[in-house]
Amino acid sequence: MKNSVICPNCKTPNPFYNSICSNCKFYLREKISNLDLWSLLGLIVENPSKAFRTIIFSEHKNFIYFVIFFVSIKYLINARFVSMLSIGEFQSTVGLEISLFIVLLITLLFFLIFSTVYFSFMKLMNIEVRFRDIFAILIYSQVPFIFGLIILFSLELVIFGDFLFSINPTPFILKGSIAYMFLALEISTSIWSSVLVYKAFLCLSQSFSFSLGATFTLIVLLSGLIYIYSLTVFTL
């Protein structure tokens, strides 16, 4: 196994997520029962690789659905921005709650399906992983979108107000330099998330090429999903 750990007592290879040797029951590392959300968020910023190892080692993957809920809100907002380019001026025919429910449900299904496919490929490559670890680190790799939601979106609302989602005039016409600054920050948030995805995959597989390919695939599919949201969610 590429991502194995050797027991110092009996020299038996173990899946790296094991806390106890499968052969001699020797303790390989300290057990982690639960995740502390605030400590984990700080660790994701300071040391992503250690953060993902902590997630994998934890027996309970706390706060996953809390994270995906707020990430889905940011996906919905991003899709609304994209819809101004893909659709133009329009009146939404569904309520905000229904739109969010649709995005939340489809996003959850997307990550479940992607985790299932990734799990199958890892098995074919004889790399020992657990489905719940894959799903958990993928969800936590989207944490930058929560920072974007809480910090960037809040500031954008304060600065642009009702014109934030306007195309006549657009925020770039009203306050061009500030709008482009926020656009750069939003792009940086997406890049940050992409880097976290790569580090998460690398932590699982210990394979540079496979992690890079999986990261590229996820980014393309996720970008396409948000584009589909922009075309459909607001016009149902």
Q: What is the mean pLDDT of residues 80-109?
A: 79
**How confident is residue 215, by pLDDT bands cut at 50, 70 and 90?**
very high
Q: Which residue has the higher pLDDT, 69 or 230?
A: 69
Mean pLDDT of the chain: 87
Residue 2 is encoded by which pair of tokens?
């590429």
CA atoms within 13 A on the CB side of 66: 8
Where does residue 161 rank: exposed (0-12), middle (13-18), buried (19+ CB within 10 A)?
A: exposed
Counts of helices then strands in the chain (DSSP H, E): 10, 2
d(CA 3, CA 11): 15
160-169: average pLDDT: 78
Residue 1 has pLDDT above 60, yes or no: no
Give 111's contacts (C-beta < 8 A, 6+ positions apart): 68, 135, 138, 139
Query: Which burial class, exposed, middle or buried, applies to 106 when counting CB atoms under 10 A from its CB (0-12, 13-18, 19+)?
Result: middle
Q: The pTM is what?
A: 0.87
- Residue at 27: amino acid letter: Y
End-to-end CA distance of the chain: give it in Å, rounded: 48
Residue 89's pLDDT is what? 60
126: left (phi over 0), alpha (psi -120 to 50) or beta: left
H/E stretch holding 218 reads helix 208-232
The reported pLDDT for the residue numbered 236 is 61
Query: Whose structure tokens read 């499968």?
Result: 22
Q: How confident is the model at residue 12 (pLDDT cuts 50, 70, 90)?
A: confident
pLDDT digit string (tens) for 116-146?
999 998 888 877 888 999 999 999 999 999 9
Per-residue pLDDT band at 90 (split at 50, 70, 90):
low
Which tens digits make up the pLDDT trace of 13-47? 888 878 788 788 888 778 888 888 889 999 999 99
Which residue type, as a one-letter code, is found at position 37?
Answer: L
